[in-house]
């Protein structure tokens, strides 16, 4: 079964063609980084307009690069939410119209379920159940993943998402946007032991997180000490954040007696996090699954993969026009 995936929940316009929920035939991601860079973050209205400008071309390229004729697409899968409503509407409406015109089903995909399915674009895929840490710009949570379409939220951030904390710390230090990758680069030149930042929620027995206190601790440090040692500051921040994420993920897996863990989402591209989680998994006898870097950030291939598994329980053409996007997380269990 060949599915065209479409993703426009934030600042990437993306389309991909994926066979049987795992074989990527094409994946096109048009980033809006340059557009939002001067503002130090995503400007929702600009994002929607840019998606509108790019969507038709991005879909066209994805279909062309896949080598599949449009007539051989079996379904379209599009991100329904969560995300920026105006941005989501562009891809979702495009998907509805595209599917309607070709008389093929349009499958609604949850963005977070999409991130989990980035794992299934790899050669070595996890068996069920496994415990997944989802770390992105908008979400930080731990899920007990039971099947392709069912998972249980074990814990989540009570305030900022970890990616948001990376972005805000980068902004404080004038490093630019998006902050995660810039912090990672700068941190490699610093000493992570030089400044000790707090590790919020590390001693609690639940699997919740809190990153706004850590972000404020960095701000206070800068106010008191200045920012002449940026590399040490970001190395200390990155160490604190990745320590908490690693510890909580492994504790969550052990608490459920799961033998497999995974990390997905934009922050899963962080090499310090990947290294720490792999080391801790090894120490605790767990197998770890990580998406390749190109599928950590937002992309439509993961949406097509998730859509493949939603297909049997999805609505088809006649109800297609009833569906709408949603902005807040509400990962479905069925
Ligand atoms: O999954 P994603 O592309 O979009 C959302 O769904 O939010 O995640 C974007 C987030 C941003 O906050 C970005 O700073 C962060 O992922 N990120 C990173 C790295 N690459 C991207 N954070 C830490 N280290 C990285 N290498
Ligand atoms: Zn995302």
Q: What is the CATH number of the domain that holds 300?
A: 3.30.420.40
Measured by CA distance, the residue closest to atom 3 of ligand 1 is 297
Using CA atoms of 260, 266, 267, 269 in order, give the dihedral in degrees to the nearest 10: 80
Residue 178 CA: which ligand 1 atom is closest? 14
Residues of the chain with pLDDT under 70: 313-321, 331-334
Q: Give domain status of residue 73, yes or no.
A: yes
81: left (phi over 0), alpha (psi -120 to 50) or beta: left
pLDDT at 319: 52
pLDDT of amino acid 315: 55
Cα of 9 vs centre of ligand 2, distance in Å, is 8
* Number of folded domains that form the chain: 2
Q: In 3-state terms, what secondary structure has residue 299?
A: coil
Residues 270 and 135 in one domain: yes
* pTM above threshold 0.75: yes
Cβ proximity of 198 and 206 under 8 Å: no
The range of the structural domain enclosing residue 230 comes to: 127-290
Nearest atom of ligand 1 to the alpha carbon of 269: 26
- The answer on 280 and 178 residing in a single domain is yes
Nearest to 249 by CA among 266, 235, 268, 234: 268
Looking at the fold, whether 88 and 148 belong to one and the same domain comes out as: no
Cα dihedral sign, 25-110-138-45: positive
pLDDT computed for residue 39 by the predictor: 87
Closest by Cα among 167, 179, 185 to 235: 185
Q: What is the pLDDT of residue 311?
A: 85
On whether both 282 and 134 belong to a single domain, the answer is yes
Cα 91 to ligand 2 centre (Å): 14
The pLDDT assigned to 316 comes to 52
Same domain assignment for residues 83 and 32? yes
Nearest 5°: the CA angle 206, 149, 262 is 50
* Residues 144, 254 within the same domain: yes
| 34 and 165 co-located in one domain | no
Is 228 contained in some domain?
yes
Cα–Cα nearest to 75, from 311, 322, 315: 311
Decide: residue 51, CB within 10 A, 0-12 exposed, 13-18 middle, 19+ buried.
buried
**Predicted pLDDT of residue 331:** 59
Looking at residue 66, its pLDDT comes to 98
Would residue 205 count as lying in a domain? yes
The arrangement of strands across the sheet holding 287-289 comes to 150-156, 140-147, 130-135, 260-264, 287-289
Ligand 1 pocket list (CB less than 6 A):
10, 136-138, 163-164, 166-167, 178-181, 184, 265-267, 269-270, 297-298
Shared domain for 133 and 163, answered yes or no, is: yes
3-state secondary structure of 279: helix
What residues does 155 pair with on adjacent strands?
142
Is 70 within the bounds of a domain? yes
Q: Is residue 265 part of a domain?
A: yes
Are 86 and 140 members of one domain? Answer: no
> Are 131 and 109 in a shared domain?
no
Nearest CA, atom 1, ligand 1:
266
In a domain, 329, yes or no: no
Q: Are residues 15 and 144 in the same domain?
A: no
Residue 330: its pLDDT value, please?
72
In a domain, 135, yes or no: yes
Is residue 89 one of the residues assigned to a domain?
yes
* Residue among 80, 87, 136 to mutate when testing ligand 1 (max atoms within 8 A of CB): 136
266 alpha carbon, closest ligand: 1
Q: Which atom of ligand 1 is nearest to the CA of 115?
A: 1
Q: Quote the strand ranges of the chain, DSSP E.
A: 2-7, 12-19, 23-31, 75-81, 106-110, 130-135, 140-147, 150-156, 260-264, 287-289
* Ligand 2 midpoint to CA 140 (Å): 11
Residue 132 shares a structural domain with residue 109: no
pLDDT value at residue 236: 98
């Amino acid at each position: 079964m060949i599915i065209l995936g479409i993703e426009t929940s934030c600042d990437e316009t993306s389309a991909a063609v994926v066979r049987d929920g795992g074989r990527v035939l094409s994946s096109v991601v048009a980033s809006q980084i340059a557009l939002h860079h001067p503002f130090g973050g995503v400007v929702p209205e600009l994002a929607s307009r840019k998606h509108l400008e790019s969507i038709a071309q991005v879909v066209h390229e994805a279909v062309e690069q896949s080598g599949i004729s449009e007539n051989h697409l079996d379904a379209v899968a599009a991100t329904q939410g969560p995300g920026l409503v105006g941005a989501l509407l562009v891809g979702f409406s495009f998907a509805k119209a595209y599917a309607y015109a070709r008389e093929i089903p349009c499958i609604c995909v949850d963005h977070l379920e999409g991130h989990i399915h980035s794992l299934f674009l790899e050669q070595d895929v996890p068996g069920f159940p496994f415990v997944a840490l989802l770390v992105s710009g908008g979400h930080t949570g731990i899920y007990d993943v039971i099947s392709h379409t069912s998972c249980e939220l074990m814990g989540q951030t009570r305030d900022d998402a970890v990616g948001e904390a990376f972005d805000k710390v980068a902004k404080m230090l004038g490093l630019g946007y998006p902050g995660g990758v810039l912090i990672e680069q700068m941190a490699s030149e610093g000493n992570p032991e030089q400044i000790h930042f707090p590790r919020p929620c590390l001693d609690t027995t639940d699997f919740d997180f809190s990153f706004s206190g850590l972000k404020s601790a960095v701000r206070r440090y800068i106010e008191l000490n200045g920012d002449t040692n940026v590399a040490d500051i970001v190395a200390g921040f990155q160490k604190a954040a990745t320590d908490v994420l690693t510890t909580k993920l492994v504790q969550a897996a052990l608490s459920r007696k799961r033998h497999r863990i995974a990390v997905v989402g934009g922050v899963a591209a962080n090499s310090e996090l990947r290294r720490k989680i792999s080391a801790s998994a090894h120490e605790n006898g767990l197998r770890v699954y990580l998406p390749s870097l190109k599928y950590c950030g937002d992309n439509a291939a993961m949406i097509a993969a998730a859509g493949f598994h939603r297909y049997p329980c999805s609505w088809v053409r006649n109800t297609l026009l009833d569906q709408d996007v949603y902005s807040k997380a509400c990962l479905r269990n069925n």
